[in-house]
Amino acid sequence: MDFKIEVNNNPVSVHEGETLLVALRRNGFKVPTLCHMNRFSPTGACRLCVVEVEGKRDLITSCSYPVEKNMKVKTNSPRVIKARKALVELLLSNHPDDCLYCQRNGNCELQWLAEEMNVKERKFFGEKNADYPDHSSTSVFRDPGKCVLCSRCVRMCEEVQKVTAIDFISRANQTKVNSAFHKGLNVSSCINCGQCIMVCPTGALLDISHLEKIQAELESDNKEVLFFLSPSTVASVAEQVGLKSQQDVTGMINTALKKCGVNKVFNLGFACDINILEETALLNEHMATNPSMPMISSCCPAWVQYLEEFRTEWLPFLARSKSPQQIFGNLLKTHYTNSQKLNPDQVFSVAVMPCVGKKFEASREEMTHQGISEVDAVLTVRELFRLLRTFGIDLRSLKAGQLDTPFERSSASAWKMGYSGGKAEAIALELYKMKNNGNQDGFKFSVSKNLAGKKETKLKAGNEEFGFAWTSGIEEADTYLQQLLEENRTDIQYLEVMGCPGGCAGGGGQPISRNPEKPKNRKKFCQEMVKISPIKSAGENPFVLDLYKNKDASPGSEKIKDWFHTHFRKREVMK
């Protein structure tokens, strides 16, 4: 039911049950927030959203207060403005004064608030947080000195990712966010998803940077520096720079990287196609041996790590295929080096990914051979932009250059891996062809059941019917799989899981923004690329088929296991 309230002397229509903040924002009133996150339970931690309500002695936090009939609200009274300014001044009182050295300089919500509140000088001098920065993780860097205790990371880690690797410790002015027992994130249950980085308003959470070691390789000339670009990275670059899908965005990134001194730039989509063919072959095998449990995708490192730490009983159902990143790294260190008459340690392989968990994946023992990593460094999209800025490169002014050979071509299916549900569709298409003697006529893949974040569809292929499901975000995936088991459902044969909400389009290595449209736009870009890709499916990629032919092998066969398959194991961590 709707009713009217008064805001700054104007009548405003509100919905019963909504919070005052939601009603104010919908009606165009600007209210600053710091701890508030849409769709998360309010905590009232920062108090920046305070407003004045006639008849109430204290200012109220609009993010947690429901609208009431006959309310008279002031969002910008002198008392409100003074209170908000004092709150920001207090937050700044123990904040380190090192904005010039902070990666979030220019994209920091605390800076924006200080500017909005017209804070011009330090009013209060608080004791600085003396906790050391935590560099222990392979993927996530924590600097407690910059934490404003908004609890956004804690809620993300607990409510969306079901991990609770970080939490509040101590009380009152000693309160801090930390991992279990003050130990580093590396021994905590953190699954390196990076979603806490995406919601942190300041520079308290960042990527573990690989930029410096890449720059060192670029300068030294000791090794060939080989980059490979993931489809979602290309979508993010296009979005950030305002390029259209019809433009050769990949070619422009290639030119830009060559200007930075990169020797060769390849297309990771090639390995996406291999990964799709391998998982389809494994799915076919799995259905014959394990008909009661779906095979689960394994290309998301955060999801894999979650199972290794929290759900070891589900590990046997993970597809044994390596992720596209590791397949590509392996190809560079074996096939490519052989063809160029180089030793594997004469090349330096760099993946450009929308994900910080890929840094952890590259460091896994299973992904090294005789002390040599398949992937030497992983750049997030954020780091890629920093690299280009360091070299003073403006992408928009560049002409597209051809990606390097081999491995330069990929299919429409590779682009589908950039968003949640796309991989399930790509695997369904290959399975359909497998069951129809290579024919794809009549293939249809559309959502038949939409269970709030978990989607299902049925595929008729030959005389059989197969169930496909997909979901993203760890909590959603865990709950869904648990439910499938409790209900003894055997109608779902393949489950795609991406650890980040929305899949790689919302990955933890993407540019940080509070605009919820951005991941949707990246998905749209990938879908546009699907439409215009000349090679329609992974199994039609002639370059991938040639690779298998040269190895005298087929997808899933014994001969290519060392290259394209891996194993997973239980991980003991502090919980």
**What is the binding site for ligand FES (CB under 6 A)?**
33-36, 44-49, 61, 63
Looking at the Cβ atoms of 63 and 347, the one nearer to ligand FES is 63
Residue 190 binds which one of ligand SF4, ligand FES, none, with CB within 5 to 8 A depending on kind?
ligand SF4
Which one, of 533, 527, 562, lies nearest residue 425 by Cα?
Answer: 527
Q: Which is nearer to ligand SF4, 153 or 387 (CB)?
A: 153
| Binding partner of 149, given ligand FES, ligand SF4, none, CB within 5-8 angstroms per partner class | ligand SF4
End-to-end CA distance of the chain: 45
Give, in order, the Cα–Cα distances in Å from 221 to each of 266, 332, 372.
19, 18, 19
Residue 205 binds ligand SF4, judged by CB under 6 A: yes
Considering the rule CB under 6 A, would residue 498 count as an interface residue with ligand SF4? no
Partner in contact with 409, chosen from ligand SF4, ligand FES, none, beta carbon below 5 to 8 Å by kind:
none
Nearer to ligand SF4, 356 or 431 (CB): 356
Residue (61 or 209) nearer to ligand FES, CB: 61
Question: What DSSP element (H or E) covers 389?
Answer: helix 381-390
What string of DSSP letters covers 200-231? -SSTTEEEPP-HHHHHHHHHH-SSEEEEEE-H
Interaction of residue 500 with ligand SF4, rule CB under 6 A: no
268 binds, among ligand SF4, ligand FES, none (CB under 5 to 8 A by kind): none
Rounded CA gap, 184 and 565, in Å?
A: 31
Under the binding rule (CB under 6 A), the answer on residue 12 touching ligand SF4 is no
111, 151, 297, 413: which one binds ligand SF4 (CB under 6 A)? 151
| Inter-residue contact 429 to 254 (CB < 8 Å) | no
Question: Toward ligand SF4, which CB reaches closer, 473 or 539?
Answer: 473
Q: Give the up-direction half-sphere exposure of residue 570: CA atoms within 13 A in the CB hemisphere.
A: 4
* 149 lies in the binding site for ligand SF4 (CB under 6 A): yes
The minimum distance between CB 150 and ligand FES, in angstroms, equals 7
**Range in contact with ligand SF4 (rule: CB under 6 A) among 142-150, 228-236, 253-261, 322-330:** 142-150
Structure tokens at 445: 């893949």
192 binds ligand SF4 (CB under 6 A): yes
SS3 361: helix
300 binds ligand SF4 (CB under 6 A): no
The reply on whether position 267 binds ligand SF4 by CB under 6 A is no
Which partner, ligand SF4, ligand FES, none, binds residue 492 by CB below 5 to 8 Å per kind? none
Q: How far apart (Å, rounded) are the C-alpha atoms in residues 451 and 422? A: 17
**Residue 46 binding partner per list ligand SF4, ligand FES, none, with a CB distance cut-off of 5 to 8 Å that depends on partner kind:** ligand FES
202 binds ligand SF4 (CB under 6 A): yes
- In degrees, rounded to 5, the angle at the alpha carbon of residue 160 between the alpha carbons of residues 492 and 381 is 95
Q: Residues near 432 by Cβ (< 8 Å), separated by ≥ 6?
A: 440, 443, 459, 461
d(CA 108, CA 100): 12
Distance of CA 319 to the CA centre of its chain: 20
Which residues, 162 to 191, sit near ligand SF4 by CB under 6 A?
Answer: 163, 165-166, 177, 190-191
Given a contact cutoff of 8 angstroms between Cβ atoms, the answer to whether 226 and 349 are in contact is yes
Nearer to ligand SF4, 401 or 511 (CB): 511
Residue 140 contacts ligand SF4 per CB under 6 A = yes
Which does residue 44 touch among ligand FES, ligand SF4, none (CB within 5 to 8 A, set by kind)? ligand FES
Spatial CB neighbours of 186, under 8 Å, sequence gap ≥ 6: 136, 137, 138
Taking the C-alpha atoms of residue 552 and residue 332, their distance in angstroms, rounded to an integer, is 19
Tally of CB atoms within 10 A around 352 = 28
**Which residues fall within 8 angstroms of residue 46, CB to CB, at 6 or more apart?**
33, 34, 35, 36, 87, 91, 148, 150
Q: Does 46 bind ligand SF4 (CB under 6 A)?
A: no
Q: Does 203 bind ligand SF4 (CB under 6 A)?
A: no
Confirm or reject binding of residue 193 to ligand SF4 (CB under 6 A): yes
With binding defined as CB under 6 A, does residue 147 bind ligand SF4? yes
Q: Could you say which of ligand FES, ligand SF4, none residue 193 binds, taking C-beta under 5 to 8 angstroms by partner kind?
A: ligand SF4
- 8 A C-beta contact, residue 8 and residue 74: yes
Contacts to ligand SF4 by CB under 6 A: 140, 147-153, 156-157, 161, 163, 165-166, 177, 190-196, 199-202, 204-205
